[in-house]
Amino acid sequence: MIDTGMENMTSFEPGKGFLIDSQDSFTIEVPGKPVEFPFRTKLIKGWNLIGIPTNRSLNVTNITISAERRKYSYPDAVKKGIVSAFLWSYDGKKWNYLGENATLEPGRAYMLQAMNEARLEFR
């Protein structure tokens, strides 16, 4: 979705998240190579749609945030005000808050709010 409305996508761009609205369940297969950890991606100021770039679950404690020329654990980045403590997951009906020791699952979308540009690293 773009500020002015919805847009049909014909290709995906690495490092960008997309919300897909559908009335029915379906499967989408995205070809490509598995990523290696550590995997880094940019966070923009505001809400960021993220997902696990691998087929295995990952605890929030395995996320680090780089900002202000330093690397922080996710809980420390929250304490410093770099990212919001609110990490959300969509269950198909509503967005649910995840705690700081939550496990992120592959194939699910998560929303993370950054107060400024930063880098997120899965390790």
- Condensed to tens digits (0 to 9), the pLDDT of residues 1-25 reads 455 666 677 777 777 777 777 788 8
Q: What pLDDT is attached to residue 121?
A: 94
Average of per-residue pLDDT across 41-48: 93
Mean per-residue pLDDT, 25-53: 86
d(CA 5, CA 46): 19
Q: In this predicted structure, what is the pLDDT of residue 12?
A: 73
pLDDT of residue 1: 44
- Least confident range of 30-34, 51-55, 66-70, 108-112: 30-34
- Provide the token pair at 113: 């709010």
- pTM score, whole prediction: 0.79
| Cβ atoms 84, 112 nearer than 8 A | yes
Preceding peptide of 14 cis, ω within 30°: no
Mean pLDDT of the chain: 84
